[in-house]
Structure 1
């Protein structure tokens, strides 16, 4: 185990001091968000207070920020849980709701401590992990320093930095080197990511390319209601718009109106990224004369389709539809993880905004599993073409699923290395 020598850099000391000073504000904000998401009783976990007993044995701690990062570490957590207890932490209510049912036997979910001295120390005192594994860009200075100070091995998996983050870290100089030096092993998503971290001071011998773990994550679970919902559709063709954002629902609904002019019986499943926006999205649909049944109210199919303003049901919608448009791509959000639709065999459509998932998009596009749309008219045209040619849509879905299946070996290799780090 190698730890950086010398005094903790001044910018990091200033950050830690500010985090400690602002802890009451952060605590109130975190508690409010958990209450809004139905997890108010677990708000003390954000202060490092354990709500569960630590299981006996050598404990591996995995941490991911939210839903996407949490799902990306599932293959690793599943592999290591076979040999001992695993703790998975995230920071959002949505991640707790989605991850809970998917955790393997022997794994527990807990909310991560806020990145301030007392919560982090309280958390580490309670859980005493034997290995800590952080996902993607989860570089929290106080958490990392306190963990390393206890001699706990640290790993970073699926590491990635956006160009903006890389430039910001580059300006910090020694601070970036000090933080990266706390990790005993780093696996990046691609060669560009490895080069970026090396330029910031990561040690070459401890930094390797491990691939995008989201591509190896298990598919979202199916749902017992799928058969009934499918039967209620009859012969009506259905498509899904998944994880949409403000400014995108308008394009999706306009596309659906165009589609229904050609295929009057077509139905849409519209699943906004944030279900609490259900009322807002329903109003947009109603204003266009496209009534949607609201899933959160127990309503079934309406004339134009269904508003899936719920969490944790992506697997249902992806398997119910031949065609899926993936959100955060017609607005400048950088796209969402395309591997869940691929794992479910959906023909995938995305807009031009792809950000950190550009390499994933390129692979899926090259395999014939995904196609680009740019606006409401092109989205309507693409959906109409695929719904009118189910064999072509099925071939796209099969190509995506085959590519997803090929990713599993990457996660297995990292899991073996982590097992050795655990001791």
Structure 2
């Protein structure tokens, strides 16, 4: 830990410069920077028993929405302060408009910033989603007597190797953990190998398995449904740099067999919309762009869906879905969302983020695995109404067993950690 803190100390001037640049260039306001420094934000800090819940960004916090709402319903006296590393994650939670939830940008991993945050909010426990591990945050939580819960935790081979090389830091972080629930057996074993105490481990739970996206706007569905025939619409969901070119090539290949096919292309990061649009222009495909305010048109072959928060609409319009992050080394994205909307699922080979659900899907015939653009094009071209229908039924059955432990049981365990009595048993925070 000493080495880590020395590195942060020497890097402090650089961090200060980066924060100043972000402020001067406008992506973050002074209020946003104050949140990164742990000095507060919009709205009052929750009163009473306060739980600190942290997720890296939109995906982690979206998956935890049911968890958050179940916590609030179960304990009417509970308040939550929810942190994210990104502005978009924080703003998404604010837009949920929960009265007992305050959303903040996560404080930097400096003890001064973390101490300021803890003094302001006085949480009684820290819940970390999926495995966004920050050493000072977890160690300081332990020093303050805050039990830490790692929920729906996962860890890649690369990250596990990194923490093995820093075993002293890993041991210090895990000393504060009082509750651990992995996404899958492989991640649980990696955490065990890193020195996580076995007595804190409870059955696995995949929060993303419980996510139910809202139904799309019926007015938009009626309007867009006149352009997109579900059986003849391919959704490329959450694509990454290096993947759109492959998807575009596969789509053009499939169109030779299915001339009525259309594609909705939804990049994982909408800020890349201009980059993806350039690829579409180079391909010669006609397209319309959602962020430009373009409505879909029957004459356009592709609809570039470069906006946030509209994935339910795209899933509902498409009968087949290629799940991105899998033809490039990003680990793949959730299969649970397209399965909810009965999209036939296609995916590439890199599935390490959801290895067990995809293995179940492939074994049951609920998804099609491809290795490159050519295989994706052939697979899309060969899909029939009957094949798609059989795949969606198989996918629902295969994924129904992938949730793991019950959400209600996890909530009960988290609330037990967050109660003042439990906090006393783990040590009170130091006097400030």
TM-score, normalised with respect to structure 1: 0.89
From 402, 407, 413, the equivalent of 1:411 is 407
Q: Could you tell which deviates more after superposition, 141-150 or 175-184?
A: 141-150
Answer yes or no: is 1:279 the counterpart of 2:274: yes
| Corresponding residue for residue 308 of structure 1 | 305
Question: Contact 2:255–2:381 (CA<8 Å) still a contact in 1?
Answer: no
Question: Contact 1:60–1:85 (CA<8 Å) still a contact in 2?
Answer: yes
Question: Contact 1:120–1:143 (CA<8 Å) still a contact in 2?
Answer: yes
| Corresponding residue for residue 61 of structure 2 | 70
Structure 2 CA distance for aligned equivalents of residues 207 and 153 of structure 1: 14
| 1:286-334 deviation digits (Å, cap 9, x = unpaired) | 2222111000011122421200011111111111111110111111222
Answer yes or no: is 1:44 the counterpart of 2:71: no
Q: Shift of residue 344 of structure 1?
A: 2.5
Residues 213, 17 of structure 1: CA spacing in aligned structure 2 closer, same or farther, 3 A cutoff? same
| Corresponding residue for residue 340 of structure 1 | 337
Question: Contact 2:205–2:404 (CA<8 Å) still a contact in 1?
Answer: no
Structure 1 CA distance for aligned equivalents of residues 148 and 98 of structure 2: 22
Question: Contact 1:243–1:328 (CA<8 Å) still a contact in 2?
Answer: yes
Question: Contact 1:32–1:40 (CA<8 Å) still a contact in 2?
Answer: no
Question: Contact 2:123–2:146 (CA<8 Å) still a contact in 1?
Answer: yes
Answer yes or no: is 1:58 the counterpart of 2:49: yes
| Corresponding residue for residue 428 of structure 2 | none
From 226, 230, 233, the equivalent of 2:225 is 230
| 1:76-109 deviation digits (Å, cap 9, x = unpaired) | 2121111222222111133235444457563332
Structure 1 CA distance for aligned equivalents of residues 5 and 31 of structure 2: 32
Question: Contact 2:37–2:113 (CA<8 Å) still a contact in 1?
Answer: yes
From 138, 142, 157, the equivalent of 2:136 is 142
**Considering only aligned residues, what root-mean-square deviation do their CA atoms show, in Å?**
2.5
- Where in structure 1 do 4 or more consecutive aligned residues deviate above 6 Å? none
Question: Contact 1:216–1:404 (CA<8 Å) still a contact in 2?
Answer: no
Residues 45, 30 of structure 1: CA spacing in aligned structure 2 closer, same or farther, 3 A cutoff? farther
Question: Contact 1:236–1:265 (CA<8 Å) still a contact in 2?
Answer: no
Residues 228, 297 of structure 1: CA spacing in aligned structure 2 closer, same or farther, 3 A cutoff? same
Structure 1 CA distance for aligned equivalents of residues 326 and 71 of structure 2: 34
Structure 1 CA distance for aligned equivalents of residues 377 and 227 of structure 2: 24
| 1:252-304 deviation digits (Å, cap 9, x = unpaired) | 11111122222222110001111111112112112222111000011122421
Q: Which runs of 5+ in 2 are unaligned?
A: 420-432
1:11-410 → structure 2 map (5 Å cutoff) = 11-18=3-10, 20=12, 22-28=14-20, 31=23, 35-36=26-27, 42-51=32-41, 52-82=43-73, 83=75, 84-102=78-96, 106-219=100-213, 221-224=215-218, 225-233=220-228, 237-302=232-297, 303-386=300-383, 389-406=384-401, 407=403, 409-410=405-406
> Aligned residues, how many?
411
Residues 348, 205 of structure 1: CA spacing in aligned structure 2 closer, same or farther, 3 A cutoff? same
Structure 1 CA distance for aligned equivalents of residues 86 and 24 of structure 2: 11
| Corresponding residue for residue 425 of structure 2 | none
Q: Which runs of 5+ in 1 are unaligned?
A: 1-8
